[in-house]
Every structure is written in C-alpha cells, then in structure tokens.
Chains A and B, each alone.
Chain A
Amino acid sequence: MTASTDTVTSDQTAKPGKRKAPLSEGARAERRLGWILCAPAVIVMIAVTAYPVGYAIYLSLERYNLELPQAVKFIGFSNYAAVLSSPYWWQALKVTLIITVFSVAISLVLGMLLALLMHRTLFGRGTVRTAALIPYGIVTVAAAYGWQYAWTPGQGYLSAAFNNSAPLTSEVKAIAVIILAEIWKTTPFMGLLLLAGLSLVSEDLQKAAKVDGATAWQRFTKITLPLMKPAILVALLFRTLDSFRIFDNIYILTDGANGTGSVSILGYDNLFNALNLGIGSAISILIFICVAIIAFVFIRLFGTAAPGTDIGKR
C-alpha cells in the first residue's frame, strides 16, 4: 500500500463544487480526461448489466412464453408468486445454499493449509504454485467431465475405489460429488488470496511473538489470523458469491437430475426448456436479490475492510 499524503491531498482537491477559484486549465483537462477514459468501460458495463436487469424486471411482470408470443400480457407479480410457491425453487435454493456453505467452508480450511504450505515450504514453492494454479485455470467443463467419468461405475478410478458405487444417481451423493468438484477447483484461488494476506504479516511480528513465548499455534491464532482478517473476508465474499452462481459443474455432472439443480440451473431450464421468459426473468431477479443480500451481510461484516473502499479513498 502506498497511501502517501500526496494522494490524499489530490483526492481532497477532487471534490467538486466546493471550490471557489475557477478550475485551472490543468484541473479541467484532468477532469475531462478522467471521464473520457472511463466512458467506454462504463458504457459496456451498463449496456450488459444495468439495462438487462431493468429489462428483466419488466419481463418478470409479464406472461411471456416464447411458444405463445401472441399471449404476452402484463400480469404483475404472478410470476413471482408462481416461483415462490413452487417446490422446485425452494429445492434449488436449498441445494445451492448447501453447496455454497460446504464448498466455501471446506475450501477456506484447505485454502488456509495450502497458503501456509506455499508460504512456509522450504523448497519447490514455484512447483507447488504452478500445480495449484492448474485446477484454478482449467476449464470447469473439462474438469467436470473428468469427475463425471471418474465416478461412473465400471469406468472411473474413483468409483472403482469406492466399490463401484454410482454416486451421481442419488441426490445426497451427487451433491457431495458436486461439492468435491467445486472444492478441487476453488481451493487454489482461496489459497492464493490467503497467501497474499499471509505475506502482509511481517516476519518480525512472528519473531517478536516467538520471543514473547507464543507457541506455533498461538502465533497462528493470535497474530496471523487477526491480521489476515481482511484478506479472509475478501476471499470469503468472492468465493461465496461465486459459489452461489454455480452452474457449469452441475450442468455437466447431473444436469440437475435427482433434485441436484441449483438456482442457476433452474433459471436456465426455465428459459431453454420451458421457454418461459416471464418465469425465467422472475427467477433471475430473485437470484439477484439473494446475491444482494449475501453481499450486504458480508459488507456489514467487513466494515471498512470492504473491497473497493480503499480505492475509493484515493
């Protein structure tokens, strides 16, 4: 972090409106340049997110089935009522939450172990990092096929190792397999974020704690963890929201069969199998609200450590 007084000063001068003297040529040029530079990014982001979300809200209030284009009609909140009274939505939400909670919690613990290993290991650090990046980087669909075949009885090594079991055909076991695939894919990302947090904890602090008589476990829980709290919260927020939108793994592994579909799968099916734009949009908006709630809860927990606040100050 390079929070110099310079940048603080410059930000103070940035506040518009309170300035009495006219802006100098330089300040005006800077302002104009700022807007020009941001414009393309802002336009694309608005075009692809803000506008469609607004449009989705509109669509969600209509009866709109692609098979019956003549029957489009404004029906208010009926679509929401239909979704919220449907067991499919609650089942999908339950599955999504279970997958999110388990995969995030387990990958946090494993990620922490991985981060400690990458931080402390005496040799082969580069090799470990490279190996860890492969699950992160690999195309989810490709990996998902690997897991699918691995758990197919008579074909896969994992199925063979567990008495030729067929976990993908039962709800609970299939969800466990999905969680496993998620953990494998996301632990490295968690580990890398935590590693960055870990490297912000100075060696001198560790040494000081050692001199003060702290055991390795005490050093970890009393020094390292509290100092890493911002990094942990950022990693958790990103991972939780990412996990909540799980789609690829389920689509390949079970395609939502046996009650394993997530909310994203439900939304997709409503659009492309039921061809119901109204219901699909209502689901979209409900998912959006869920994500907003999760983000809000996290940001309340963060306080000032929320990502972005730092940039905002500059």
Chain B
Amino acid sequence: MAEIVLDNVTKRYPDGALAVDKFSMDIADGEFVILVGPSGCGKSTTLNMIAGLEDITEGELRIAGRVVNNKSPKDRDIAMVFQSYALYPHMTVRQNMGFALKLAKTPQATIDEKVNEAARILDLTQHLDRRPANLSGGQRQRVAMGRAIVRDPAVFLMDEPLSNLDAKLRVQTRTEVSRLQRRLGTTMVYVTHDQTEAMTLGDRLAVMRTGLLQQIGSPHELYESPLNLFVAGFIGSPAMNFMAGTLAEGSLQTAIGNLPLTPALRQALERANVGRQVIVGIRPENFEDASLVKPELRGHGVTFHATIEVVESMGSDVFVYFTQESGLSAGVDQLADLAEDSGKADTGASDETVTARLDAATQIREGENAELWADVRTMHVFDPKSGQNLSLETETGTPAAAAT
C-alpha cells in the first residue's frame, strides 16, 4: 500500500519533443486514479514513468515516500496490466501468474497459494493449466489482472486494459475492475482514452492534453466545473455544445437567442475583463422540448426555434440534432483538439451541429421547426483565447479541485 507523489514530472525526448510537462499530482494510498485524454496527450508516457519503463527527464517521483526516479521497475513494488495483456505465450496461466513471485524467489508453496487465491477471485481456477492462446479475450484479460494481483503490490498500473475487449464485455469487466480495486484497496493508476470508462471507474480523474495536465478532480467535479474548454468538451457524452456569444447589455447574444446573465455571472465576466467575445457551452441535457418545461422553470432559460434534422430515440431519452450558426472562429486549438478526438474532424461533421437531450415524452419530429428551451443556470462561459472557464467563479467558495 502506498501513496504516489508526482512532483513536476517531465518527459522530454532527445529530439526536444515534450511528452509530459511538469505533471504534479498526489495520489493517496488506496485511491483509484484515472489518467484520461486523447491519444498523444502523454497519459501512457506518464504511466510508463511511474512504472519505470521510461526515464523521467525532470521532476521527482515518490512511491511510499521513497524517490524512485532511478529505480528499475522491479524495485518499485508495482504491478502492471498492459493493453495487449502481454501474457507469456509459452507459459500456462498458472506460470504466468506466478512468474513475478518466482523471480522474487518466493517459496513454491506460497506461490501456489497466492495463484490459487487470485484464480479463485477471478474465476480462473479451471483454466490454470491452459495456455493464453487457448483462452477467450475476457479470460486473457482476467489472467493479466491475476498476474498483477498475486504480487500484492503497492500500486497497480493499468494501461488501457479494457480496450481490446468488445463493447459488451468491456462494460462488464469495468464493473469487475472497480469491485476488485475496492476489495483489494490497493492504489491504482489507470490510463484510458475513453471518458465514459474514466467517469465510471475513478475516484479522481486527471485530464491531460498535449502533455499538460488540464484538471484533476472527481468525475462530478470535472463534469460540473470544468476549468477550461477542453475539459468541458472532453468530459460528458454526448459532448457539450459550444457556440459564440457576444456580451451586450447584461445578456449574451448567441445563435439561440439572448441568454440572460445572472448577476453573479455578470460580475465574474466583468472581473475577468475578457472583452465582448466569449464561448458559451451548454450540455445536451440542459435543453428540453419547450412544451414539456414546467412554467415555473421557463424563466430560468430561453426558448428558441430550430429545425430538427435528426431525431434519435434511445427509449429513456430522445436526442435531437439541429444546426445553428455557431459563429466560432477556427483557431481555438482546444476546440480543434476536441474535434480531432471525437472524430468530428474525420467525419466532416460540422461544428455547428447542436445536440440536445430531450425527455422521452417529446413529440418532436424530424424536419419540424420545433420550439426548444435551454437552461441558462448551468451554462458555462469560456474565454476564447485562454479557454478558461469564466463562469466558475460565480460559484460559492473556490473553484473545486483546481489543478495546481
């Protein structure tokens, strides 16, 4: 059991490329922390540095109070699950799981006991004498987990351990991982690019982009109070809608109408002194079919008309898509990153498509010019230059769990 401290950990390759820039984070003993971000953001490099598989260029890494920058992986008391599982194909499941203990010259009786125990937990007992090649994907994944468990390490490191499973199994195994971590109580650092996985699994999430830590916080904090455009757009599915806004006479002019500003928000924006142009972010669930909004709520938002292009009924909810002149200028790099990560850049989907999640009772049809309502109490306002979330300061107290 151990806490991990990353103190300005930096990875710079000899060609000058900066993979991870001054990453600082304290991970408490027994905590389940997720490193999440689009590919190339430096999350795997960070994990490899914790594991000792890559050198740390600058900064300090402490595990259980000990500086381990120059320790080899075997001296760090860690176990790791790899994306490809990295099961030794020439060993049986039993030998795979016992390999680390054998290298550590653990007595055979102890090895057997620990392997059997891990196999029991993971429901692998009947497969112990088979080779990895003869196992299904899910079983292999469990063997990889088992190999980590038997070590009884201070820290578990997981590098996208579920990404090779099909969608259904991934959801199941996700729950298993979560249950296992609670049961063992071991500190766990888990890397994924999948924000849903990150939200459902972690105690705390560290969102990364281009080698920089963006924000650390609980899933709830990241969702409710994203520090910047990138986090706001990355966390949450479907993603937050962004549109340009112009500050004018106590309200925000946007493509969906004039959004009223609460006094607190107005003050915050004035304090920030960012000029008149801002970016407004509204989550899909903050829209509603105007006809279904209770009269007493209507005043908290604005109603507007939009021609609905696509309606997707999910049973519990209905998603509708419409196009609005978003007015966002290109060149906001955080938005560009988000578009790339979501695949929007590849599919050619427009930035101007707005997604709204409506109550299942809605009668809106495709092609209809429907009346929609947007809740402005939960909207976010961002500085287009820095991407900073300007609306956070309206909340009572300090911005929650700001990254240092």
Contact = CB atoms under 8 A, between A and B. Distances in A.
Within 8 Å by CB, do A and B touch in the complex?
Answer: yes
Interface of A: 9, 12-13, 15, 18-27, 29
Interface stretch (B49-57, B237-245, B256-264, B290-298): B49-57
Which of A9, A20, A21, A27 is packed against the most chain B CB atoms within 10 Å?
A21
B398 to A, nearest CB: 35
Contacts of B377: none
A13 B13 contact: yes
B15 interface: yes
A23 B73 CA distance: 15
Nearest to A14: B14
B15 A12 contact: yes
Interface in B51-67: 52, 54-58
Contacts, number: 38
Contacts of A21: 55-58
A197 B291 CA distance: 66
A258 to B, nearest CB: 58
Contacts of B71: 24-25
Nearest to B52: A26
Contact of B13 (A12, A24, A27, A29): A12
A27 B69 CA distance: 12
B55 A27 contact: yes
Nearest to B54: A13
A20 B72 contact: no
Nearest to B15: A12
Contacts of A25: 70-72
B13 A9 contact: yes
B52 A20 contact: no
Contacts of B72: 24-26, 29
Contacts of A13: 13-14, 54-55
Nearest to B45: A9
B56 A15 contact: no
A21 B72 CA distance: 16
A19 B58 CA distance: 11
A9 B19 CA distance: 10
Contact of B69 (A9, A15, A18, A24): A24
18 contacts: A9-B13, A12-B17, A13-B54, A20-B58, A21-B56, A21-B57, A21-B58, A22-B70, A24-B55, A24-B56, A24-B71, A25-B70, A25-B71, A25-B72, A26-B72, A26-B73, A27-B55, A29-B72
Nearest to B57: A21
Contacts of B12: 20
Nearest to A18: B14
Contacts of B14: 12-13, 15, 18-19
Contacts of A20: 12, 57-58
Given A12-B15, A19-B14, A20-B58, 18 more contacts: A9-B13, A12-B14, A13-B54, A15-B15, A18-B14, A20-B12, A21-B58, A22-B70, A24-B52, A24-B55, A24-B69, A24-B70, A25-B70, A25-B72, A26-B55, A26-B72, A26-B73, A27-B55
Nearest to A8: B13
Contacts of A22: 70
Contacts of B15: 12, 15
A21 B56 CA distance: 8
A22 to B, nearest CB: 8
A290 to B, nearest CB: 40
A171 B276 CA distance: 95
Interface string B57-91: 11000000000011111000000000000000000
In this complex, the member of A23, A24, A27 whose beta carbon has the largest number of chain B beta carbons within 10 angstroms is A24
A156 B46 CA distance: 74
A22 B57 CA distance: 8
Interface string B212-235: 000000000000000000000000
Nearest to B17: A12
Interface-centre pick from B12, B52, B72 (highest chain A CB count, 10 A): B72
Contacts of B13: 9, 12-13
Nearest to A23: B55
A27 B14 CA distance: 14
A237 to B, nearest CB: 32
Contacts of A12: 13-15, 17
Contacts of A26: 52, 55, 72-73
A265 to B, nearest CB: 49
Interface in B1-31: 12-15, 17
- Among all A-B residue pairs, the 9 with the closest Cβ atoms: A18-B14, A26-B72, A24-B70, A15-B14, A12-B13, A24-B55, A25-B70, A21-B57, A25-B72
